[in-house]
Structure formats: C-alpha cells, structure tokens
Structure 1
C-alpha cells in the first residue's frame, strides 16, 4: 500500500488504513492508575516536531518519510499547533467565501494546485517500555486539518480526512526496537475542504493532541452505555455493551449499587430504583467500572465510565428532559482561543464554568465535534449539547440561494460521491461521543442546503440512537422535511417565529442561531426569551456566538492588537465578522454578558410595593435551594439588607412578602431581590448571583428649600457675551456661535478652564457593527455632517440673550446641513451658582433619516478621567439592552470606558443616568445631571476619532475627555448583523420636536 497524493481531490477518498471509530473511553492498567488519571497505556507525542513547509504538493520533499532522510536542518514546531500561527502560510478569516474563491478556477471536489500548503512533519519516539506479548500499538491524531497521510519507519500506514474527529492508525507491524520515526504529511485543502466551509479562520496542521495507545491482549475496543427510564421515572435500567478484542472476560460494576448482570455477547445490565436523574441543575453522574481479565485470569484493563441517567425526547410534540419541557438558553461555541483552535482542557473548563455562571444551559458545537474534554466537562457541569457533524458548504449553497443556480448543484445534495464522507463523519462523531449524557441532539451540520444524502444520514442516526436529529437546512430546501425532527431556523425575528408557529405546529421549533452578537449588539433579545416561555413549541435558541475569533498581532509600532479578517494580508476575507462573541477573544466577558445573565436566569422576578412574585422557570429546583437577599439602597448607599426564606417550586409561580416597606424620607430608592448560591459549587463561588431583579421606589415629600445664589453678572462685549458669578465665569462667542469658556473656582483669573472645546449638538456616534451591516452610515450620513458642520448663521446678530432675576440665558440656532434642511436651538441658562442648564430643541422634518442619537458633545481636559456616575450599570447599557443593568453609583476610569470590541465603534454608554461626575485626581471637575434621566458616556475620544480607527491601537493619543449626555441613542439591535435594524420602539422619533435638557456645573 502506497500513498497517492493525487487522490486528495477525490471526495470518495475518505480514509485508508484508519482504525474504526470507537467510544472515547480511557483504559488503565489498574484502579490506582484510574484514580490518578494517568494511564500506563498512553504516551503523549505532544511537543516539538520537525516540519518542512511547502506551498503545494509539488514543492514537498520526495521520500521525506524515509528513515535516512536528514531532517536536522528542518524547523521545529510545537504540536498541537496551527502552522499559520508559527510563521508558515498565513491565517485567513472567511465566512461564506471559499478561501480560494477567485484565485483558482476549480469545481467542487477539486483542490487548488498553485497554492495548497503542505506541512511535512517528522517525530521520533521510543516507547517508555517494550510491547508485551499480544499488545498492539496505535497512534491517534485527535484533530488534523484537513487531511493527514502517515508513515512509520518509512512504511506507509494510512490516510484520513475529517479535521475534527480522531484519526487512529495501528503502528504495531511497522514498529521497531528502540527509536521509531513517525512521518506525517498534512494537507490544508482536499476535496473534503468543500464541506468544511465554516465561518472561521482557515488553518492547517496538527491542532489537537497526538497520543500513542497500547492495547493489551484482551482489550475492550468499544463501550456503549444506554439508560432506559420507567415511564414514571421511578426506576431505570443501565445497559452496557462492550466489544472485547482478544481472549479474556469482562465484568462491570456500578459504584454504590453492585455488579451488572452479564446478559451475553458483551452486554451487561442492572436496574436502579429511584435513580438520581441527570439535568443541567443536578448533573448527577454514576461511576461505572469495567474490568477486563486476560485468558490467564489477570486484570489487564480497568475502564472508568461515568453514566448519566436521563431521558431526552420529543413527547407530546415538545422537547422534554425527564418529562419536563425544556427551553434552550443556549450558546453556539466555536472551539477557539488566542491559539486558534488549539484549546486545552483547562481553557475549556474555564469556558464552561463561565457559561454556567450566566445561566447558559445548552451549547451547540458549531459546526464540528469538539474535543472529548468538552463533553466530559459538559457532563460534569450540566450543559445540554447539540453535537454537530463537521459539515458546511455555505459557499456552494450561496450559488443556489443568491445566483439562482439549480438545486442539483448543491453539495453534498443528492450526489452519491459525497455520501461516504457524510456517513464517515456521522459514524466517527456518534461512536466517539454517544456515551455522554450531555448530548441530547445530533446535528447533521450547518448551512449545506438539503438533499438525499443528509436525509439518509439522519435516518442512520435514528437507526442507532434514540436522540432527536437536527438540521436547519430543511428551512431552505424543504424537499425532505423528514431529515430533521426539529424545525430549526436562524436569525428569524421573534415576531416571525410567533407568526410561523401560528400556522405550523407539527414539530418543536428552535433557533439554532440567533441574537448575532457582533460588536456592540445583543439588543431586544428579551423578545425571544419571553416568547420561549409563552409559546410551547418555541423552545429557545443558541446565541451566535461564544467568543470573538481573533488573532494577537503586532503593528508596525510594536503595539499588540487583536486582528481580524485582512489583518494578516489575506484575501479574500470577511473583515471583523468574526467578532460575534459574548466573550472577548481572550475569553474575558464583554458587557453583553450582563444582559445574557439577566435573560437566561432561571427565575423571573416582579417586585411590587409589599411583595415580589417569582416565576420559577427551572426544571427541578425550588427557590429554597438559593439564598434570597433583599436590599434597599439610596444612591449607592445600602440602607437595609435582609436574607429571607423562599420556597417556590420549579415550574410554578409564587408570591413572597418583602421584609420592609418604603422608607419615610423623600427620595429615590432601589430595591433589589437576588438569589445567590448558598455554598460554592463546581462552577460558581458562594454568593454568586443566579437571578435578580430591581425596582425603583420614589417617595414624595415637601419640596426642598433651595437657597439661590445672587443673579450672575452679564457682560456684553462686541464679540463675546460674559456671564460671571461668585467662583465662576463663562464666555459665549457671538463670532463663532457657541459657548467658548467655562471657568470654575476661586482665582484671580476667574478659575480653572473646564471646557477643552466648544460644546456642539451631536447626532452621531461611531457606527456599530450592526449599523454598518444594514447600511446605517449610508442612510444616516447627513447626521454626521450635522454633528461636525452645523453653523450659526450671522451669529453676531442672531445670538439671543435674556436676563431675569436669577439667571442669564444665551441662545443659538444651528442650521444643519441636512436634506431637507432643519435646525436645532440650544439655550444655555446660567444661574448665579455657575450651574448651566442646557436645552436642545430639534425640529424634525419629514424625509429625514433616523437619528443615531440626540445629545451634545462636551469636551474637557484629559486630566478629568475619574468617572463617578449614578445610573444603570455596572456595564454599558443601551435602550434595548438594559434589563440586566442596575441603578447604582459606579466608579470608572474614562481611559478604559471604550469597550474593546474588535473594531472600535459606539460603546461605553449608560442608560438611566441621573448624574455623573468627571474629576481629576484631586476631586475637581464637572458634574452633569438630568432630572428626567439621560444616556451618558465619557470617553477619551470623539465619535469621529473612534469611527476612523479600524483597531484600538489606531486611536490617537488621549488629549481630552469627551462627555456625551444624550436624550437617547439608537438601540444597538441584535437580530442579525447584515440587515436587521434596531426595532422601531428603540429608535428616536422621525417627526415632531425633540427636547433634551441637562445641566452641568463645576465641582
């Protein structure tokens, strides 16, 4: 058997010499090894390998696999790793486009010839001990992208495709005493790459672990665990099927219960009464131990296996877990971090704990099987998993959808040459993963249209397992609706989901992707979540997605930044479309997570005057399992805090009395009800908040007695209007049309200047990713012009001044360069204490586009960077993303207030702001307030500077602090990032008159 590289262009050439797929169980020499977790049957080959890089197969070294080929001059590379992150080729981010599109004229199945990187690897190893009689040795490559050919000691061993399931080869017959030489050739693109067109960075190389496995003479090759529950859940049966290779025997014991009955043909079973059921809230796992003895009666193999007893099914038309209807509060998760798809167990563990902490109960492995560690940890922490095959041919599907090409051009479609690859990928995923209780649904892949091949694979899954089968592509190609057991769509609006289900009630419905969280996004997602609890057939969805995909790069000035599509000089590419995470690329939380935690909490709480109502949406857990804390506060000061007892059963609603009523003193108070972990769990510390709600109580009283300062002095100059009082002075320019100076403090020159530039009406912010997606800058661009180039015509004669017994008011009318034309009036009312009340009045005219925002730009010196704000937080919030925000007093540093989304954009704002203080290190500065509440941000840059930067390292040095009080900003939106607009109720009006009032004063 020899390797023919030309065959990589044949979609039927799936594997050669590869061992059959089997369960991902581990085997140990004895119980002690099993307890320690270190198997004497395993030897890692991770570490430094030799590598030769070639741009295509023709540039590889012929015979490199021979034992006498000198590779001492080759480079070293770590394994696991992507070659593109170690100086070879270049990373390429594309979404739908095939990476070679427009570069080489090839058709499905063919591979690029001019540029198709090939990495030749060499690794020498010596076994830690000689093979014993009857033992065999294999090597498993747990993830290689996209295909591997393998030699040992110059002998060809085999070939395998499917980047994301194990490729295992028997090495025994080619093994030699002492040092052995393993050689591998990894191809970036093969025929299989046509069905690996996922929305991700395109890499190649050995990116998961490489392990040598010894198989003793008597070895359990495969384990299949099934659990069958009684209809009333009073009892369950555990059935274990084992596949024994060699002469020996198998026994199975369930810890704390007893030995399983040997039912013949390697099948064992046991019945359990009153079993503890696995669920996201109580991921109970039983410990099973399989013991293998050889023909001589010696124990040669011990296999620990965790078992979760649960029933997931479609019952009475809905998806249920242990008989209870489920709602997926889910997330899609690319296996991706700062090292690309090289993600270890430790990082995966941290990821899943972080998801549990914000109420996520389900994960879809988009769009390929993850490493085995992911499933083990999902079992442990309690996450329901949609396990997805490695399949996506989106670029070809676009031909049909966008170019109106015939349906029979789809791949895999109805084409018989693609069926073997699908069958192989389905079997590899199923056999490896089937024992994990966390997996509740099998998915056939993603965005690959439809056809008989997918239908047949779905039938195969149903023939070997009882879990439902999912495939979203039926929505686009409805020829074979039986392909999926679940109606699945992507990015359908909540209103359209409800409308669909009003007419179609044959299957449960999920959104396998929704709430496209690109950049500053995730607005109005509450509409989906509330619908899932109102409409029985809509059973939730999976946020797109878990974390930004980005690569750490260094710019020409030595500054480190997170790069996205195009930053590595690649083309084609899809820019920052890879920045869709509720976590950043380093897996730290984004502000969006504040809203995720609120929407995905297991309890919905409504606080009244004397009591609060709890709608317990959990599957099995009463509120009594958590510590309930009720807190009363006023402007950040806690006045009372009580721990109270509650007992609202799962899936019910109950009312609980508040431990206190409204205070006597007038003012604004917050009441918070939170449920917290009473003790640390595997995923969260003691006191971690699992649910909460806030309400605001306003207690009226007699009006406060206000001591007014003497009226300020008015000074009328030729070009300036001065207003002066005790400890302050202002200057209004009639020449340039605006407030030119505001000095505050006692000094001979009139105090410290607080204004860094003339305040201007503002209607613009740096466009968000979603706004760019639906063409907002094109439609709204005249509001950018209005923000930058508004003018006061004939300002020396048009500036108006009014004086009364308490104040001086200076007014300007700004003409705006809009079509049709309109104007904004700005009144500055200055009282004797130096308080400046600003009133902006905008006349909206029919025919004008949406306003991105309506407020003012007010810049102060950069020394004023300490922010103290009484508003909604602690993270940024927007009009359509404020459910998780809480009214309180927060302290921040302005220099870090611009959220580091992959591409700089509007960020850092807060809703419901009553007042904000921006001060220097000594506490001097300016206070901005609004009696009616406002949206407010304080950032080191103007919206225009932010918009001009494509990366955060491109933002200019900090010279000022830019305050942006606003009546309202457009909501961030979040249905999708390529056309969905912010919902109408979260946009500014397009007609009538807008009035915004706020005040500022030196402090």
Structure 2
C-alpha cells in the first residue's frame, strides 16, 4: 500500500528505510529498435543531471519546510550541480573521520538516535519538461546515489523516502508527472539511522552525488534479468541460464539469441514464455571462457514481440561464461586456482569527491591493468554501474561489497568493545541490512567480473549479517560470500566462505595456512600504503607460491583521499582531515593510496607492478627463464627485449619471441656478446605488448627481470697518481690546495666550510653526519619516532671541540679526521675522515661507534648542503622511482636522470622520501653546468638529493607550507631504515631492514669535482 504523507521520525528508525521505493532490479539497458540500440542512446531515458535550485540548512528545524509546493517561491534559492556533493559546492563543511562517528564528543548518542541539531539538510528543486519520447508511458524516477536519506515530491505530491547511499532509489511517478512544467523536490538529510551503518573510512559527504534520471518503459518490458553463464566441467561447454521478469501486456513473445565477440551467432530464435517467470536453459558448445586475462564477452539479445510480430523492446546484455567455485578448499576460476593480486578502491576525485566520471574510471582501470592489478574490492559500498561494465570489458575481478560499516559501534581506539554494536543480532536492524545486500546483488548480478559478494566491512558479526550471507547464497549460488568480521566473533564462522584477515602479519598468515585450514585465505586489506610505505610486500606475495590455500590480497588502498582547497593566498593545495575545521578528525589517515589524489602515480606503484607480475623473468649470462603465472593464456601476445648493460649503459640488444604456456616455465638460451672488459654487467629482459590493447599501446612494458654480475676483480680504492696537496695551517682553518681545487676545513666548526672546484663553491654549511629522517607516517604510527627521538638531537647538535680534530700528512694525501660526540644515552661518537689527494679526489670514511642500550637508528649518512638549487642529478643505481631496503623489488639497476624537485614524493604529509638504494655513482649538476660527483667505494651507498632537509620536511604538515627551494640537500647514506607497511599504527619494520645502534657501522665514498659541461 502506498504511503502518502512523509514523517520526519523515519530518520531515526532503522525499520523505516524505504517508503514507496521500488524493488531492486538488474542494471540492463533496453531499446525500442535495432537502430536505437546501434546509436547507443536510450530514447526512453531522460537525464535530470545539471543545475538544480538549492537551499541549505544546518538542521531540520531551519529547513525550507514547504518548498515542495508548486507555488513555493524559489527566488531566494541558490543553485547546485547534480551529481555532486553539497560540501564541495560551498554548502556545508567537508569532514573526514576514520572509525569514530563524526558526532563523537559533540553528542552522547547511541543507535539509532540522530543528532538533529547538527544534521544538514539540502532542499533540491528541479523543474523540467518531459522529453517527447517519454510522454504517455509508464514513468519512473531513479536516483543512483544520494547520501544519506531522501524524501521526494513531484508536483506537490509525496513520492517516497529512501536510505542506502550507494544503490539506486527508484519510484514510479506515472500518475503525477505532466508533459511540461514539472517540479521535482528532493530533501536530502546528511544523517539518519543509516549513518550508523555507513561509518566507512572516508570523507563524510552528503547530497545527490550520482546520476538522476527518468525512464519510461514500453507497453511490455523486461523489468529484471538474471543471466547465469556457467561452464561445464570440460571448460568449453557453456551453460546459459536466463530468467526474466516481464511486466505489462502478457500477450507477447520473447526471443533470445546469443552473439559471439566476432559477430557470429551462437544460438538464435530461442523462444521462452513471456507470461509468468520466463526462463531459458541452453548448453552451448565451443564457448570461449571469460577471465581477467582474456575477458571474452558475448552479447545476449532478448527481444519482445507483440502478436503481430512487431518488435517492442530489445535488451542487449554482455555475457561472460565462467565458473567460479570452491574446489577442494581452493577458490577456482574455470578450474584453475585463482590468486587475487588486488587493491581496495574508493570512488574518489580531488575536486568532485565520490561524484566521479567515466573518464576517471577509465584512468583507474587502465592504471590497474598497467600495474598488473587483477582484482578490486569495492570498498566499502557498491560502485557506479559503469565501473562494473568496464571491469567486465577490461578484465578485473571484483569483490562487490555491500554498503555496510559500523566500525565505531564496536571498536574504540583499537579495542573490541561490541556492547552497543549495530547491526549485531538486533531484529530491528535486520531488514535494512539485508535490503542493502538485495539492492547490490539485484543490480550487479549479471556482471561476470563480480566473483564474490561481500557482506560489508568491519561491522563485527551477528544474526543480521548472517542473514545477508544466507540471502546471497540462496539467490546466487554461483558466487562465493566474503566477510572479514567473523575474525572478531567466531560464533558466526559460516557467514564467510573464506578466511579473511585484515593486516595479518606474514607469520600469522603462515600459521593459519599450516594449521590444516578448512577455508582458503585472502587478505581483504593488507599493506597499508599510508605515506611512504609498502615495505616488505614480498613477504606476502611470496606466500602464493608456497601455500595453495593462500589466494592473495587487496592492498589498502588505491588512491589518496584529499581535496583541493585554497589557502589564504589563493593557492591551491591538497587538503585532508582537519583542514576544513572538521573535528573530530583523523587528519592524513585518508592518504593511503599508491596513486596520489591528483591521479599522478606514487613511487609505491613501482613495487606493486613488479610483485604482481604474472610473467616472471629470470635472466642470467646465457639466457632467461620465463615463468608464466597466467592461468589461461600463453605469452604469444608479448615481445621480449633482451639487453646487456655495462656499468648501466647498453652494449647489446636483442628482441625475441617465446610462447610459454600458462602455469609453465621455459628457459631460453640467448646469444650474448663475448664480455672481456672488467666491469659490472647487467642482463635485463623486458616483456612488452606486441599489439595495442584497451589499456596500453604496443611496446608497453608489462614485466621485467634483471641479473647483475661482475667480470674481473671488484672495484677497489682507485689508484691516485699525483702529489699530495698543499696544506695551509691557519689559526682556525686548515687549507688544502691542489689541481684546480681548494678546500677549507674548520677546526672550530669541525667540518668542511669550503669546497671549491674550478672556482665554484659547493658548500654552504659543514657536511655533518645525520642519523634522523623526516618521520614517515609508519614511523609515527609504530612509535619509532618516539623511541628513536634522541637521534634527531644527535644530528642537529653534535658535540665537538677542536681537540677532536686530527691532521695526517703523507706524500700522497692529507687526512683530516673529526670525531663528533653524540648527545645520546649512553654516550657514543662518530668519526669522519677526509682523505684528500692533490687532484681534488676526496675519500670520505664514516665510522659510527656502536654502544649497547641505544635505540635503533633511522639512518646513518652524511648531509651536504649545496649553495643553490641543482639543475639536474644523474645516478647509476636503483631506480627510476625512490626505493628503500624493504621496497626495492620493483627498482632496477640503471642510469637515471632527475631533478631535486622531481625527486620529492608528494605524500599527503611531507616526510622522508626520494631515497635510492644501490648507488654506484651520483652526479649533481648546478645551473651553470658544473658538477659534483659522488662514487661508491667498496660497496654501493644509498642517497637522496632533495631541495629540503629532513627538518624542513618534518616541520611542514602540507607541501604548500614549504618555502621556495634555495639549496640542494645531498645525503649519502651508509644505511637507511626500511619504511615498513604491514600497517600504519603499530607494525614494526622487519629486523633485517632495521639499523642497530649497538654495533659499529662503517661506510665510505669518494667526492670529485667535474669540468663544466658546455
């Protein structure tokens, strides 16, 4: 029975979540003719996107209560763009929180209560005429996404009410719509009882943020469609099942045909009953299966005819034949064990919030395919329909997640305390959460990319979520069900078909896998990529080769959530939690992406692409071993490029092809030049696309592998054939003069105060040992910045007196040694010696004296502050992107060029960045063409060349706070601590990537000046 009058009390009742709202259905398109279908435009759909009249109120008592009346004066209303969020159009305040509810500390609330004093209301009005093609037909109104609760009126008549921000809310309006001069009024409430179920880790927006449209239906119409495209056990025979719900005139016939991707008809003219439930079941021979590697899509055509044979409606539906099921405790796609190399993805744009466009989605999916990501979890809500179509077409596996998270109701400051958890087993909440499952499944059920239904995220467990999983299994046995929350309440194990941890450590995962498990294992979230993170990822990805029941994971997460904002000077910057006056907040905890908020790629993506490679390449001096980790396709789509490099420069190139079958490996011998000259050689193989694809052009590199070796003896201290430099002993300074260089060493300051090559000064402050780095988000989260804080003072304020300086003169060189006493407890020191030759070569040796009881070091290095912003840098070492000792699998040895500014990694909060491991030589070139050269001694060093010091980076909370660059900070490290990344709130860096301060540490390198480049 239709409800005619709205009630504000619905906002605080979990039992009222839909009023006059239609049942959910599939998201198929339909057309009235083949010509219309071929045009791609639905004539029976009218978009209401665009400019709407709008009024904003801080709470319901201040709202425009009668604005839906036809005679209501809208002169004082402003405007707003739909789709879009209120807050991003200067209506209300942006607010970011993670797990705590936004009203925490402001109001003492418990579910399902709503804070009506702070509950913004948007009053939307759209005036429209019906398109001629819609007039005289049954008409429906569809909101594809509105946060969080909506009341709808048309022409002064109450139409309905709905909650659930991320699935369509649809209403029939046939009896109240006019051909012209319609007034649609929508009242949007930011908060309702549904807000207790939408506590996701994101900005808390409100408004109509997805499409709004009208759609008409023909006299007879396929309202709902459920296509099941299974495979027989032989993997070649398709099992096609079609179920339809047809409304309207029952005197119609329904014809079904199936077309292959090449346009050939697979089956045609199949008649199925059009009255009552309509169903078809067909076995089809020689079907090409769908997979992420080969996303083959057939087209199913359903045609409705009247008794005279006139076409009334045609529905095209893309179909992918595939079988996903559990086989002996392992998730298998088309009979093969599937490993998810996945990522969690929020819908987000730095200017539009969650109101993203198809262009944004295309960028995202191409990035994912280019970086070997094969799966996405739609965290933590159903995405726009277009995303599922793209995943079908491009080949991305999906965990489709229901719009449910009540994190703050059961976990407080990391402690499980579910005394007032919702939905739990509360009967008054069951219907609304099951409705969320129904709305998602019914819309998305025909997409082959959807392999798993997820009951939501971080909502504990109980009878209500169990009811969701029961619904999924009953309605769609062809897919599996996921829910991680049973980890916290094992009484509800049967909710999830798989074991799913969040941020379990590799050792914990192995412990589960070694315990004779009954369920396969996935990490629905792992590798918390907040700031400079993702260290140690190989510890997870290596599990897939050792444990068949380990089936991968989903990195947290895809993109930083940050919004463009202007500062007081009108300059735009990326803002995060707290920058909008929003309290409470979790500040930069929204910055966890391997892609920055402006859709530029972060250096973390380099590691992901390599570790997710489905083609692994292991070259050596004689050839390459190619391991094909694909499940269904060979390597014939790839061209391989084999290169031999000497000291980073290519001396031999060879292209070749190889057809390695799926799940097999092959060693291929390759001709290589005879290598006689001493030096370091790298044998490198790249896999490149032969042809253009949807997601990349021919020649795009999908995988690489390297092997490095040496011919001849390893490098030693170079033989310097020159006389010793001249030494000038001043009262305060020691001068050293040689061939086109001059150096001043201050006894008073304890370091080099001048280093001049060919008349150019390279020093602004004495180079000093550094032990600190600008704390990463992980350093802060695991409290390493606290435990190691004494190293900041040790570097900034070294103890030194002129008695700590010694000078040794020989016939070949002058050695000046300085000892720095460190302000740590217990006391220790670092000795730095400079061995200077007459030709200007300087051998630098750093010796840190370990002492028991000292905390681990963030870094050990020497910092050189050059007097101007360098024009360029070049290094022979690991690149091209920044890398660290625990995040360098995806780096490769080579020669690279950059600039100090380009070496900055723009994590949301400035922090340690720009490091490179394995550096053999490094050249910094000034704007005038002069260069300063650093080279490794016995072993490679690590280095960064940045326009800012660690202290400057750490003092800033946003990049726009940093001053224009004036100097170049060159840091030559003997050791740099790993960045970690198992999580960002306590997980330590693994011991093998830490730097013990209890042991002696020593390293050395060379400095030389280079002639000006003309």
Shift of 1:469: 0.4
Structure 1 residue 105: Cα displacement: 1.4
How big is each residue's C-alpha offset from its partner over 1:699-745, in whole Å with a ceiling of 9 and x where there is no partner?
A: 11698995622210111111111111121111111112111111110
Q: Which residue of 2 aligns with 1:104?
A: 107
- Matched with 2:659 is 647
- Alignment deviations for residues 888-913 of structure 1 (CA, whole Å, 9 cap, x no partner): 11111112211111000000110111
What is the CA distance between 1:996 and its match in structure 2? 1.6
Is the 8 Å Cα contact of residues 22 and 221 (structure 1) preserved in structure 2?
A: yes
Q: Are 1:864 and 1:925, in contact at CA under 8 Å, matched by a contact in 2?
A: no
Q: TM-score, with normalisation over the residues of structure 2?
A: 0.96
State the distance in 2 between where 1:662 and 1:690 align: 29
Contact residue 764 and residue 852 of structure 1 kept, 8 A = yes
1:259 and 2:268 matched: yes
Structure 2 counterpart of 1:383: 396
Contact 1:945 1:956 (8 Å CA) reproduced: no
User: Does the alignment pair 1:799 with 2:805?
Assistant: yes
Note the alpha carbon deviations across 1:137-185, whole angstroms, 9 max, x for none: 1111100001111000000000000000000111111112311000000
Q: Which stretch shifts more, 883-892 or 123-132?
A: 123-132
Q: Residue 491 of structure 2 aligns to a residue in which SS? A: coil
Match of 1:630 among 639, 642, 657: 642
Aligned-pair distance for 1:557?
2.0
Q: 1:89: how far off?
A: 1.2
2:953 corresponds to which residue?
Answer: 946
Contact 1:733 1:739 in 2 (8 A): yes
Q: Could you tell me which residue of structure 2 aligns to residue 970 of structure 1?
A: 977
1:429-478 C-alpha deviation (Å, 9 max, x unpaired)? 00000000000000000000001111121111111112110000001111
Q: Is 1:754 the equivalent of 2:762? A: yes
Q: Which moved more, 1:147-156 or 1:988-997?
A: 988-997
| 1:957 match | 964
For 1:503, what is the secondary structure of its paired residue?
Answer: coil
- 471, 484, 491: which one pairs with 1:479? 491
For residue 175 of structure 1, the aligned residue among 170, 173, 177 is 177
Structure 2 CA distance for partners of 1:869 and 1:120, relative to 1, 3 Å: same
For residue 405 of structure 1, report the CA deviation from its aligned partner.
5.2
Cα contact 1:865–1:961 (8 A) shared by 2: no
Q: Is the 8 A contact 2:676 2:711 kept in 1?
A: yes
Pairing 1:36–2:43 present: no
**CA deviation string 1:584-638 (max 9, x = no partner):** 1022211111111100000222223323222221111222331111111223422
The residue that corresponds to 2:859 in the other structure is 853
Residue 98 of structure 2 corresponds to which residue in structure 1? Answer: 95
Equivalent positions of 1:706-855 (< 5 A) are 706=719, 708-745=721-758, 751-793=759-801, 795=802, 797-855=803-861
- In structure 1, the partner of 2:6 is 3
1:295 deviates by 5.3
**Superposed CA offset, 1:246-304 (max 9, x none):** 11332111122122633434212332112100001100000111112245543222211
SS at match of 2:1000: strand
Going from structure 1 to structure 2, the CA distance change for 1:132 and 1:941 (only over 3 Å counts) comes to: closer
* Comparing 987-996 and 149-158, the one that deviates more: 987-996
- Cα deviation, residue 648, structure 1: 2.0
Match of 2:313 in 1: 301
- Which residue of the other structure, out of 62, 67, 79, is the alignment partner of 1:64? 67
Provide the residue aligned with 2:262 in structure 1: none
- TM-score (structure 1 length as normaliser): 0.97
The answer to whether the Cα contact below 8 Å between 1:665 and 1:701 also exists between their aligned partners in 2 is no
Whether 1:73 and 2:76 are equivalent positions in the alignment is: yes
Q: 1:449 aligns to what? A: 460
Tell me what 1:581 maps to: 593
Q: Distance in 2 between matches of 1:423 and 1:670?
A: 58
Q: 5+ residue gaps in structure 2? A: 260-264
Separation of aligned partners in 2, 1:59 and 1:924? 68
Change (3 A) 1:399 1:738: closer
2:225 corresponds, among 215, 223, 226, to 223
Aligned counterparts, 1:45-60, within 5 A: 45-60=48-63
* Structure 1: stretches of 5+ with no match in the other structure: 746-750
> Could you tell me whether the CA contact under 8 Å between 1:119 and 1:185 is conserved in 2?
yes
State the alpha-carbon separation in 2 of the partners of residues 498 and 735 from structure 1. 57
SS at match of 1:777: helix
**SS of the residue aligned with 1:840?**
strand
Contact 1:369–1:389 (Cα < 8 Å) also in 2: yes
- Whether contact under 8 Å (1:259, 1:270) holds in the other structure is no
Q: Could you give the per-residue CA deviations for residues 169-218 of structure 1, whole angstroms, max 9, x where no partner exists?
A: 11111112311000000000000000100000000000000111011111
Count the aligned residue pairs. 993
User: Contact 1:720/1:731 (CA < 8 Å) preserved in 2?
Assistant: yes
2:154 match? 152
> Following TM superposition, by how much is the alpha carbon of 1:403 offset from its aligned partner in structure 2, in angstroms?
6.4
CA distance in 1: counterparts of 2:122 and 2:196, whole angstroms: 20
Q: Which residue of 1 aligns with 2:532?
A: 520
What residue number does 1:676 align with? 688
User: What secondary structure, in the 3-state scheme, does the structure 1 residue paired with 2:878 have?
Assistant: strand
Measured after TM superposition, the shift of residue 940 of structure 1 is 0.5
3-state SS of paired residue (1:755) = coil
Q: Aligned residue for 1:748?
A: none
Report Cα offsets for 1:91-126 as digits up to 9, x if no partner: 111000100111111111110111100000000010
Partner Cα separation in structure 1 for residue 903 and residue 681 of structure 2: 26
Match of 1:166 in 2: 168
Q: How many angstroms apart in 1 are the aligned matches of 2:299 and 2:701?
A: 31
State the Cα RMSD in Å. Answer: 1.5
